[in-house]
Amino acid sequence: MARSAFAFGNSGRNILDGPGSVYVNAALIKSFRLLDRGYAQLRCEAINVLNRANFGLPVNYVDLRNAGQIVSADAGRVIQFGFRLQF
């Protein structure tokens, strides 16, 4: 078995720290009564309202050229609308 020139050796688990993540989610809901036996509901939900960049973990393979660099990020702000009819 060939060994790489760069290796962690006997390092413990989870010794590498990455950037933190902050998500602020919000929802607006409005319900309406329809006649005597039904309801309608309008919804607007927003995920990551502040549109903060939440970066992924750095590359942890030490024998790669981009070791230690952050090369990924989570999605930005997502807004979805919904309508629910219950009778």
Q: List, for residues 7-41, the tens digit of each pLDDT value.
A: 556 777 777 778 888 999 999 999 999 988 899 99
Evaluate if residue 2 carries a pLDDT over 60: no
User: How much is the pTM?
Assistant: 0.64
For the chain, how many helices (H) and strands (E)?
0, 3
> What was the pLDDT predicted at 31?
94
DSSP label at residue 55: B
Q: Which of 24, 45, 39 is CA-nearest to residue 86?
A: 39
36 to each of 29, 42, 84, how far by Cα in Å? 21, 19, 17
> What was the pLDDT predicted at 84?
94
Environment class of residue 11 by beta-carbon count within 10 Å: exposed (0-12), middle (13-18) or buried (19+)? exposed
